[in-house]
């Protein structure tokens, strides 16, 4: 594998600083951009890789590790200068996300996810209801199985129903 030249190293470091500033927390972040100055000026990047460990976004959403790799990217450099990143052509992206049981448990009970689980409309026994999920418990079981338990609050009656799912 070719070592990145000084220009690529500088561009990669600048991108790393920008990405790091958007995260709540990160243990280790490595960004590698493969391009040359002429192509970059035209908004073309040969490849882009982010490899992060201990990444936290939205305060409580944590990934043990995230690897994101793209092949060639074409962007409008003028829009980037205005703070608007838009891809000019389709791009293949490969992503690997490693989550620990504790990360998933914390995410389910984060304010961000709790807001997504708030006032959900469902149909139950022919009746339209509004429900909220609280006290979500997540476990990774042996044999690649998952278990999820939560208290479902039916807004119309304030009744609390425990549910459990195993898959």
Instruction: Residue 148: name the closest of 107, 105, 106 by CA.
Output: 105
H or E element that contains 126: none
pTM above 0.85, yes or no: no
Please give the pLDDT value at position 50: 94
Name residues whose C-beta falls within 8 Å of residue 114's C-beta, 6 or more positions apart in sequence.
133, 134
Check if the beta carbon of residue 48 is closer than 8 Å to that of residue 18.
no
pLDDT over threshold 60, residue 139: yes
User: What per-residue confidence (pLDDT) applies to 1?
Assistant: 53
Average pLDDT value over all residues in the chain? 88
Which residues fall within 8 angstroms of residue 165, CB to CB, at 6 or more apart? 147, 148, 149
**Rounded-to-integer distance, Cα 69 and Cα 12, Å:** 13
* Dihedral of alpha carbons 84, 90, 94, 95, sign: positive
Local confidence band at 132 (pLDDT 50, 70, 90 cut-offs)? very high
Q: What is the mean pLDDT of residues 13-37?
A: 89
Q: How confident is the model at residue 4 (pLDDT cuts 50, 70, 90)?
A: low
pLDDT tens figures, 70-114: 998 888 877 776 767 777 888 899 999 999 999 999 898 888 888
Sequence-separated (6 or more) residues with CB below 8 Å from residue 17: none
- Report the DSSP beta bridge partners of residue 62: 56
Name the percent of the chain lying above pLDDT 70. Answer: 96
Give the residue-averaged pLDDT of 149-159: 92
Please write the tens of the pLDDT for every residue from 41-60.
Answer: 888 889 999 999 999 988 78
Based on C-alpha coordinates, what's the Rg of the chain?
A: 21
C-alpha dihedral sign at 65, 31, 58, 74: negative
């Amino acid at each position: 594998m070719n070592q990145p030249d000084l220009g690529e190293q500088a561009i990669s470091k600048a991108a790393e600083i920008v990405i790091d500033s958007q995260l709540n927390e990160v243990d280790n972040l490595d960004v590698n951009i493969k391009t040359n100055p002429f192509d970059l000026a035209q908004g073309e990047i040969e490849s882009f890789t982010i490899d992060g460990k201990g990444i936290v976004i939205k305060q409580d959403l944590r990934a043990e590790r995230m690897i994101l790799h793209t092949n060639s990217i074409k962007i409008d450099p003028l829009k980037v200068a205005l703070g608007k990143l838009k891809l000019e052509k389709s791009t293949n992206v490969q992503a690997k996300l490693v989550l620990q049981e504790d990360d998933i448990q914390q995410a389910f009970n984060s304010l961000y996810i709790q807001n997504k689980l708030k006032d959900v409309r469902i149909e139950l026994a022919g009746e339209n209801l509004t429900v909220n999920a609280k006290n979500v418990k997540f476990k990774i079981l042996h044999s690649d199985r998952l278990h999820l338990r939560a208290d479902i609050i039916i807004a119309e009656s304030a009744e609390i129903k425990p549910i459990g799912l195993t898959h």
